[in-house]
Chain A
Amino acid sequence: MQVGIVGYGAYVPKYRIKAEEIAVVWGEDAEKIKSGLCVREKSVPSIDEDTATIAVTCARNALEQAKIDPADIGAIYVGSESHPYAVKTTSSMVAEAIEATPVLTAADYQFACKAGTAAMQTVMGMVASKMIKYGVAIGADTSQGKPGDALEYTASAGGAAYIIGAENVLAIIRDTYSYTTDTPDFWRREGAEFPSHGSRFTAEPAYFRHVLAAAKGILEKNKMQPKDFKYAVFHQPNGKFPLNAAKKLGFTNEQVSTGLLTPMIGNTYSGATPLGLAAVLDEACAGDKILAVSYGSGAGSDAFIIEVTKENEKRRNKKTVKSYINKKEYLTYSIYSKFKGKIKGVSLEK
């Protein structure tokens, strides 16, 4: 049974902070940071935004394109490392906000930055087995970086939602393949405010090992080569890793550039690969093939081979990723600190 994307929706908050604005606080060289991470600025959620508001906005945008009856949605899974509640689901809020309740199943996922693609695989399986007609998979985050840490330059906010079904698809998901191991490269313990990471350890044994293995695995399984694809999207914790991964696999910068958003908006964590894929779908035409590979610390990668249909051009998404990226307002570090609740002694939630 052919399974694919019936509609997708993206969202990136309006506010941004430049690398220079962060670097000056910590006495670091902004140019060095910008060239090292390939990140110029990052998105910042407004004071009244969180993963739930982003997930709802993405889901509503996806429904606008899919034009399906929300009552036909049988499952909603939201992947994030910043769910607003430790106990109580973001997915049930999304379900209520898109009027998909009450006859559906829903749950929240966490797998660092790949929770959104894990959600996509779940609903793909449910649609393929005819358990449900449509399923919604969302990757959304308002990620946290410890003040002064390298992550502060990249940890940002955004997300994308995918409505998966079997009819009227604008892109067919030809195959998916995952590679998972127990790798302690990045973590956050229950109750801890900020995540910790293994610095350089996050590169070779973590990001590259999993991304490359998942990409090679799916290519071999499907007897395909990098030249068979018009676009490729790799998880983008910074602007450099995805370009290096692409090079190692034999993809060109041209294949990767459309879906590489980190230099402009930072790392949207669970939103990163889904948002990169959305940016590609905004431009892709019938017959174009896309390789998408996520990465989540802990660690694992999910790879997808996607083929765009004529339907994508017929029902072009009006709320493009580019429109969200271009609409921006810069914040100072002090206002950013307030928005993110980083000011000591001040609780934004009374």
Chain B
Amino acid sequence: MWEDRVRPRLFTYTGGTKMKGLASYWRLIPQRYNLIGTECNHCKQKFFPPRKICPTCRRHGEIKSYKFKGVGEIYSYTVIHAAPDGFEFQKPYALGLIRLVEGPLVTAQIVDCKPDEVEVGKKVEMVFRKIFAGGKEGTIRYGYKFKLVD
């Protein structure tokens, strides 16, 4: 039921007004809430964000929906001190490149810890959090972030 709503697009911040980006947010709900990407049935390579065509197998590939486990490790990270609009009250915060156990790299905030607790190689798991809200009257956008595994 998801396939018609899954589009291979990266997360972009489109806050600021209460209506902006409503349709693209809705389209990305399967990705944002549940890390739903795709897998090539032919070569078993997994993609996040989802791809519609396998770049290796091309016309021989067979793409299907795949739900990632939501666990991985920190491949790299940076600490944000000059945060974009909508994130300024969270600074300083860690933004990581997470290597999911299935392979793909995902960019996400690493929360529930101080930035100096974040280290390359540490194990992380997905959590469901508020990303931003379109003002007091707009929609609240939720999605994946990661936290350190105890």
Contacts and interface: CB of A to CB of B under 8 A. Distances in A.
Interface stretch (A45-53, A214-222, A236-244, A289-297): A45-53
A266 to B, nearest CB: 19
A224 interface: no
A113 B52 CA distance: 47
A29 B138 CA distance: 41
Contact of A349 (B34, B127, B129, B136): B136
B150 interface: yes
A288 B34 CA distance: 37
Contacts of A46: 111-112, 129
Main secondary structure, interface of A, reads loop
Contacts of B145: 48
B59 to A, nearest CB: 31
Interface stretch (B40-48, B73-81, B83-91, B94-102): B83-91
A93 B135 CA distance: 19
Interface stretch (A95-103, A149-157, A256-264): A95-103
Most buried by B among A48, A49, A85: A48
A144 to B, nearest CB: 15
B23 interface: no
Given A14-B112, A48-B111, A53 B85 contact: no
Contact of A350 (B1, B33, B129, B132): B132
A145 interface: no
Given A348-B89, A349-B135, A350-B133, A97 B140 contact: no
Contacts of A47: 89-90
Nearest to A60: B128
A96 B1 CA distance: 12
A263 to B, nearest CB: 23
A348 to B, nearest CB: 6
Nearest to B16: A350
B53 interface: no
A130 interface: no
B49 interface: no
B113 to A, nearest CB: 9
Given A14-B112, A99-B34, A50 B85 contact: no
A167 B59 CA distance: 46
**Size bracket of the A interface:** 20 to 34
Nearest to B114: A329
Contacts of A338: 89
B89 A56 contact: no
A97 B128 contact: yes
B111 to A, nearest CB: 6
Contacts of B139: 88
Interface string B113-150: 00000000000000111111111101110100100001
Interface string A306-331: 00000000000000000000010000
A218 B119 CA distance: 54
A137 to B, nearest CB: 19
- Of B34, B142, B145, most A-chain CB atoms within 10 Å: B142
Contacts of A346: 89
B135 A97 contact: no
A80 interface: no
Contacts of B140: 50, 52, 84-85, 349
A93 B142 contact: yes
17 contacts: A46-B111, A48-B111, A48-B131, A49-B130, A52-B140, A53-B127, A53-B130, A93-B142, A96-B29, A96-B33, A97-B128, A99-B67, A347-B135, A348-B89, A349-B135, A350-B132, A350-B135
Given A48-B131, A53-B128, A349-B134, 8 more contacts: A48-B130, A53-B127, A53-B142, A101-B1, A347-B135, A349-B135, A350-B16, A350-B85
